[in-house]
Chains A and B, each alone.
Chain A
Amino acid sequence: MAALALATPTLNAAELDLDALLARLARPAPDTTTFVEVRYSSLLETPIVVSGRLEHRQDGSLVRRVEWPYEEVTELQGENVSVERAGAKPRRFSLERAPELRGMLASFGALLKGDRAMLDRYFVVAAQGTEAHWTITLSPRDAKLKRHLAAIVVNGGGDRPRCFTLEEPDHDESLMALGIEAPADLPQPLERQPLKAWCVQAPGH
């Protein structure tokens, strides 16, 4: 009985949390965050790890700067993506060719703006956890997007997101830890389960 009484307010609190949470998560542009990204691929034995900075600009464009272990700058401006590495020709393509990127951008943009309606438009939104440790799971609505993106999972605590994970249908995954400076700050070895657990439990940055 008491458990039930305790459970209900928590559930309600989680529901209310989402809108309020989103409002708290909003970050006005310009904004820069450090990140470490771990990418798992079926072609690779060990994941690739890069670290750098993520910049959200005034005009709405996003710049992803990889600073370690090599240098690479990705600019996402409207529909166009440009990836440039030192010593190589820039690779340009549009979001039409990379739907999972579009999904990621949509969710990122919505979170940065605290825009619940935008999230709802592209994803089925599910929230769990408490205010101290919450998880938002976004499942794409669009069939075409579903072919490239299984889900986006955002973990965080308080009013800060901690991890941003893109899960692909073929079990490839890309996990971005925000506010972390170096890979050493993450639990080693960089395996999926420990990292996921860390994401759920770690405090917001």
Chain B
Amino acid sequence: MLAAWIAIVAILGWVVDQRLVISSDLRLFMPSPRTPQERLILEEIGEGPASRMLLLAISGADPQAAAATSRALAAALRTNSEFRLVANGDAGLENVPDSLLAYRYLLSPTLDHDRFDAPFLHAQLEERVRDLASPAAGFLEPWLPRDPTLELLKLAESWQPSRQPQLLYDVWFDAAGKDALLVAETRAAGFDPQGQRKAADALQGAFASVRTDPALKLEASGPGTFSVLMQERTQREVQWIGSFDTLGIVILLILAYRSLPMLVLGLLPLVSAAVAGLAAVGMLFGSVHGITLGFGFTLIGVAQDYPIHLFSHQHRGVDPRASARALWPTLATGVASTCIAYLAFLFSGVHGLAQLSVFTVVGLAVAGLTTRFLLPHLVPAGTRNAADSRLLGRMWNAIAGLPRPRWLGVAIAAACVGFLWLSPEPLWQDNLGGLTPVPTALLERDAALRKELGAPDIRHMLVIEGGDAQTVLSQAAALDPQLESLVARGVLDGFDQPARYLPTQAIQERRSAALPAPPQLQAALTEALRTTPFKPGVFAPFLADVERARQLPALQPADLAGTPLEARVGSMLLERQGHWTGLVTLTGVKDPAALAQVAEGTAGVTLLDLRQASEDLVAHQRERILWCLAAAAVLLVIVVFVALRDASRVGRVLAPMALTTLVVLALLHAAGVPLSLFHLIALVLAAGLGLDYALFFEHAADDPAEQRRTLHAVIVCSLSTLMVFALLSLSTLPVLQAIGVTVAAGVVSNFVLALLLTRKPQRAADGR
């Protein structure tokens, strides 16, 4: 039977391994959006242009080599599917494809205030003559026959950001003139570490292939880089914690039971639980999030309890099956109550938490059931009797002799509640940034690069809503003058909006109508050429191009596909189910209130503060989770009542758990730790454990041998749990640390309180 069990687990494990997809998108742990506004917020946080932007710096050799590498790298990245947009300051006219070239008269603002009549053309041609005599003649001369008014040059210049880093060798350099700077927008969302990892690898590969000097180094910074770093760190930490945990459990079990077969048997329910949990999550959700996986494996400390209880209560002369049957009611109550608590998370509306809940419930249920029904058949009868240990006997008597004033529990509870109620500090942490900290040095470097490059603000943006693309574009264009005045006042460093690249259809048609028909243009040109030294007929390509532009239909967002403008406009003009949204990205916001005023003055425009909005989302969701937990608590009390059927017993069993929760909350708050979702998860876990210990101590009642065996069991349980979570609390990642510290504190407190509070108060000092 043992063989069969192991075989089933192995096969299931293999199947799970084949089909398991591990996701690391942190947005799974953020509230699910319900309104379009919320959806936009979450998408912007993870997928918006600012979050996809990687800031790159090439350094290490002389500037000319760095510039050449910058150009080569930009060219290589543009052909790479991982990147949508690459900018390095190179405003080369050669980069504009022919399809857009034809549209230059409709895209350029020249026709808004000038006409292609003889005086205008004459002035332009005079300037071109002078250009030919100037050093700029080299690159201007080839374009003159087609584009004597230099519309293309005007467009290329307007497509550069309004606030550029300095140009050296025609590419961006930092203020010191040593590092070449580039900006690359990834295809993968900012919060998707797998996708960002692929992009980072592609980046390094491209750099290695274009690098001319081995001394050149590439530095990348941005939300994507940070999420990859954090994922690597999480993986490393979970790995070493996991290995130490396993080692520790093995040692502990050997010490406790002095038997290798027991060790193997003890680990079986645990492994089955893990595999079953993974299979369930994989089937229901398709993928498992890394945090769920990491947390799930710390169930080592919890599911381990069930076999430990069985083993510790095992002694010579009693059939393991009977022992299991006797233990079952208590064990079942423990499993059921923990599962109920975790079921609350299923309804929380947070995807990642739902995964966690399924994993935990299935895992614990499987561990409990295998302990009850499968393990007893395999445990060798005739093992050490924990009750025989003299050490335990002495410990138990010492504990029984401790004074247990009734009022102590109430006093502690009152003190904690009072402290939490009256404390001026906020209890909860809403800032998502606190969950994944990045080393300060990296953050500072990112801020410096962001400032040099004028990269858009991640936090603030203006959102324009409309029924179709043209409405949104015209609203965006209407914002231009107001935003320009804000820039002039110094409130804003710069901004970017889609209408800058793609004028509205109305404007394009107006410009097209302003273009003269061929006969008029020919006449104007002939007149304009009169006092210039240009040869006649030189501008025939110009006449052809203007006529072609006159016939063109207005450029629509869909027409930009395959051109350099596609990514740029596409990230600022979004369509979602027939509803269009425009984004105005902002740089160097110094006074959000002024921007809010601008937004209020225009219909359909709102200022989005991503940080504020996300914090509101989190706070809102937390309320919902707390209500779910409250419902679960009520359910829990009912279940325990049904199991024990005695109000005072129920009271004694629930007291340690309730008190522990309050004490841990107070301790964390006193230590200045703001509470997050993960603290909540950990508190629920600790409460579940406390209930377990209390139930078992209560069950042991007055039989001294049982008491000692229970003590042995609970000591081993709590030590194993404590070890796992204490290791976790050593992690440098706040998520893992939060869970570790909370559960470790909870275990200690639960152990002590369960010991002290569950036994009926004894009058005599005999306890024997």
A residues at B contact (CB < 8 Å): 37, 39, 41, 43-48, 50, 64, 66, 70, 72, 74, 76, 79-81, 83, 85, 88, 91-101, 148, 172
Which A residue sits closest to B67, measured CB to CB? A96
Check B132–A101 contact: CB distance below 8 A. no
Q: Mark B516-538, 1 if CB is under 8 A from A, else 0.
A: 00000000000000000111001
Check B145–A43 contact: CB distance below 8 A. yes
Check A39–B136 contact: CB distance below 8 A. no
Query: Which B residues lie within 8 Å of A83 (CB)?
Result: 134-136
**A101 vs B170: C-alpha distance in the bound complex, in angstroms?**
15
Check A43–B535 contact: CB distance below 8 A. yes
Q: A41-B141, A88-B127, A97-B139 are in contact. Are A72 and B132 (CB under 8 A)?
A: no
Query: Which B residues lie within 8 Å of A43 (CB)?
Result: 132, 141, 144-145, 534-535, 538
Q: Mark B136-178, 1 if CB is under 8 A from A, else 0.
A: 1111010011000000000000000000000111100000000
CB contact between A74 and one of B134, B169, B535, B538 (< 8 Å): that residue: B134
Looking at the assembled complex, report how far the CB atom of B629 sits from the nearest CB atom of chain A, in whole angstroms.
63
Looking at the assembled complex, report how far the CB atom of B502 sits from the nearest CB atom of chain A, in whole angstroms.
24
Check A39–B133 contact: CB distance below 8 A. yes
Query: Which B residues lie within 8 Å of A92 (CB)?
Result: 167
Check A98–B138 contact: CB distance below 8 A. yes
**A95 vs B67: C-alpha distance in the bound complex, in angstroms?**
12
Q: Which of B133, B139, B168 has most A Cβ within 10 Å? A: B133
Check A93–B170 contact: CB distance below 8 A. yes
| Interface status of B561 (Cβ within 8 A of chain A) | no
| Interface status of B442 (Cβ within 8 A of chain A) | no
**A70 vs B138: C-alpha distance in the bound complex, in angstroms?**
20
Query: Which B residues lie within 8 Å of A95 (CB)?
Result: 169
Check A97–B138 contact: CB distance below 8 A. yes
| Interface status of B130 (Cβ within 8 A of chain A) | yes
Q: A43-B144, A43-B145 are in contact. Are A91 and B538 (CB under 8 A)?
A: no
**A61 vs B331: C-alpha distance in the bound complex, in angstroms?**
88
**A43 vs B535: C-alpha distance in the bound complex, in angstroms?**
6
Besides A72-B134, A97-B139, A98-B138, 13 more A-B contacts (Cβ < 8 Å) are A43-B132, A43-B534, A47-B533, A48-B129, A74-B134, A76-B135, A80-B167, A83-B135, A93-B170, A94-B168, A96-B169, A98-B135, A98-B136
Check A44–B533 contact: CB distance below 8 A. yes
**A74 vs B145: C-alpha distance in the bound complex, in angstroms?**
24
Q: A80-B168, A94-B170 are in contact. Are A37 and B535 (CB under 8 A)?
A: no
Check B132–A41 contact: CB distance below 8 A. yes
Looking at the assembled complex, report how far the CB atom of A125 sits from the nearest CB atom of chain B, in whole angstroms.
23
Check B534–A44 contact: CB distance below 8 A. yes
Query: Which A residues lie within 8 Å of B535 (CB)?
Result: 43-45
Query: Which A residues lie within 8 Å of B141 (CB)?
Result: 41, 43, 172
Closest 7 CB pairs of A and B: A94-B170, A98-B138, A48-B133, A44-B533, A96-B170, A46-B533, A97-B139
**A88 vs B150: C-alpha distance in the bound complex, in angstroms?**
14
Looking at the assembled complex, report how far the CB atom of B184 sits from the nearest CB atom of chain A, in whole angstroms.
21
- The size of the chain B interface, using a CB distance under 8 A, is 24
**A45 vs B534: C-alpha distance in the bound complex, in angstroms?**
6
Looking at the assembled complex, report how far the CB atom of B397 sits from the nearest CB atom of chain A, in whole angstroms.
88
Query: Which B residues lie within 8 Å of A148 (CB)?
Result: 138
Query: Which A residues lie within 8 Å of B167 (CB)?
Result: 80, 92, 94
Q: A43-B144, A79-B168 are in contact. Are A70 and B136 (CB under 8 A)?
A: no
**A39 vs B404: C-alpha distance in the bound complex, in angstroms?**
107
Which B residue sits closest to A101, measured CB to CB? B135
Query: Which A residues lie within 8 Å of B136 (CB)?
Result: 81, 83, 91, 93, 98
Check A99–B138 contact: CB distance below 8 A. yes
**A88 vs B127: C-alpha distance in the bound complex, in angstroms?**
9
Query: Which B residues lie within 8 Å of A101 (CB)?
Result: 135, 138
Q: Tally the A-B contacts, defined by beta carbons under 8 Å.
A: 79
**A172 vs B136: C-alpha distance in the bound complex, in angstroms?**
14
Query: Which A residues lie within 8 Å of B132 (CB)?
Result: 39, 41, 43-44, 48
Check B169–A94 contact: CB distance below 8 A. yes
Check B538–A98 contact: CB distance below 8 A. no
Check A72–B130 contact: CB distance below 8 A. yes
Looking at the assembled complex, report how far the CB atom of A83 sits from the nearest CB atom of chain B, in whole angstroms.
5
Looking at the assembled complex, report how far the CB atom of A24 sits from the nearest CB atom of chain B, in whole angstroms.
28
Check A39–B137 contact: CB distance below 8 A. yes
Q: Which of B67, B127, B144, B170 has most A Cβ within 10 Å? A: B170
Looking at the assembled complex, report how far the CB atom of B462 sits from the nearest CB atom of chain A, in whole angstroms.
29
Query: Which B residues lie within 8 Å of A74 (CB)?
Result: 134-135
Which B residue sits closest to A91, measured CB to CB? B136
Looking at the assembled complex, report how far the CB atom of A191 sits from the nearest CB atom of chain B, in whole angstroms.
14
9 sample A-B contacts, Cβ–Cβ < 8 Å, listed by A number: A41-B141, A43-B144, A44-B132, A50-B133, A81-B136, A85-B127, A88-B127, A96-B169, A97-B138
Query: Which A residues lie within 8 Å of B168 (CB)?
Result: 79-80, 94
Query: Which B residues lie within 8 Å of A99 (CB)?
Result: 138
**A172 vs B535: C-alpha distance in the bound complex, in angstroms?**
14
**A97 vs B175: C-alpha distance in the bound complex, in angstroms?**
21
Which B residue sits closest to A84, measured CB to CB? B134
Check A48–B127 contact: CB distance below 8 A. no
Query: Which A residues lie within 8 Å of B134 (CB)?
Result: 72, 74, 83, 85, 91
CB contact between A37 and one of B133, B144, B145 (< 8 Å): that residue: B133
**A91 vs B221: C-alpha distance in the bound complex, in angstroms?**
32
**A50 vs B135: C-alpha distance in the bound complex, in angstroms?**
13
**A76 vs B168: C-alpha distance in the bound complex, in angstroms?**
13
Q: Mark B330-370, 1 if CB is under 8 A from A, else 0.
A: 00000000000000000000000000000000000000000
Looking at the assembled complex, report how far the CB atom of B153 sits from the nearest CB atom of chain A, in whole angstroms.
9
Query: Which A residues lie within 8 Å of B144 (CB)?
Result: 43
Check A48–B533 contact: CB distance below 8 A. yes
**A173 vs B67: C-alpha distance in the bound complex, in angstroms?**
30
Interface residues in B96-155 by Cβ distance below 8 A to A read 127, 129-130, 132-139, 141, 144-145
Query: Which A residues lie within 8 Å of B64 (CB)?
Result: 79
Looking at the assembled complex, report how far the CB atom of A186 sits from the nearest CB atom of chain B, in whole angstroms.
16
Query: Which A residues lie within 8 Å of B538 (CB)?
Result: 43
Query: Which A residues lie within 8 Å of B135 (CB)?
Result: 64, 74, 76, 81, 83, 98, 101
Q: Which of A72, A76, A99, A148 has most B Cβ within 10 Å? A: A72
**A118 vs B167: C-alpha distance in the bound complex, in angstroms?**
26
**A141 vs B133: C-alpha distance in the bound complex, in angstroms?**
26
**A69 vs B137: C-alpha distance in the bound complex, in angstroms?**
18
Which B residue sits closest to A78, measured CB to CB? B168
**A14 vs B145: C-alpha distance in the bound complex, in angstroms?**
45
**A97 vs B145: C-alpha distance in the bound complex, in angstroms?**
19
Query: Which A residues lie within 8 Å of B127 (CB)?
Result: 85, 88
Query: Which B residues lie within 8 Å of A50 (CB)?
Result: 133
Query: Which A residues lie within 8 Å of B67 (CB)?
Result: 96
Which B residue sits closest to A104, measured CB to CB? B135
Q: Mark B531-549, 1 if CB is under 8 A from A, else 0.
A: 0011100100000000000
Query: Which B residues lie within 8 Å of A46 (CB)?
Result: 533
Q: A45-B535, A48-B533, A79-B169 are in contact. Are A85 and B138 (CB under 8 A)?
A: no
Query: Which A residues lie within 8 Å of B533 (CB)?
Result: 44-48
Looking at the assembled complex, report how far the CB atom of B413 sits from the nearest CB atom of chain A, in whole angstroms.
73
Looking at the assembled complex, report how far the CB atom of A177 sits from the nearest CB atom of chain B, in whole angstroms.
14
Looking at the assembled complex, report how far the CB atom of B690 sits from the nearest CB atom of chain A, in whole angstroms.
71
Looking at the assembled complex, report how far the CB atom of B165 sits from the nearest CB atom of chain A, in whole angstroms.
14
Query: Which A residues lie within 8 Å of B138 (CB)?
Result: 97-101, 148
Query: Which B residues lie within 8 Å of A88 (CB)?
Result: 127
Looking at the assembled complex, report how far the CB atom of B443 sits from the nearest CB atom of chain A, in whole angstroms.
33
**A97 vs B576: C-alpha distance in the bound complex, in angstroms?**
42
Looking at the assembled complex, report how far the CB atom of A39 sits from the nearest CB atom of chain B, in whole angstroms.
5
**A37 vs B134: C-alpha distance in the bound complex, in angstroms?**
10
Which B residue sits closest to A76, measured CB to CB? B135
Looking at the assembled complex, report how far the CB atom of B660 sits from the nearest CB atom of chain A, in whole angstroms.
69
Which B residue sits closest to A168, measured CB to CB? B138
Looking at the assembled complex, report how far the CB atom of A52 sits from the nearest CB atom of chain B, in whole angstroms.
11
Query: Which B residues lie within 8 Å of A41 (CB)?
Result: 132, 137, 141
Q: Which of A88, A94, A97 has most B Cβ within 10 Å? A: A97
Query: Which B residues lie within 8 Å of A47 (CB)?
Result: 533
Looking at the assembled complex, report how far the CB atom of B464 sits from the nearest CB atom of chain A, in whole angstroms.
31
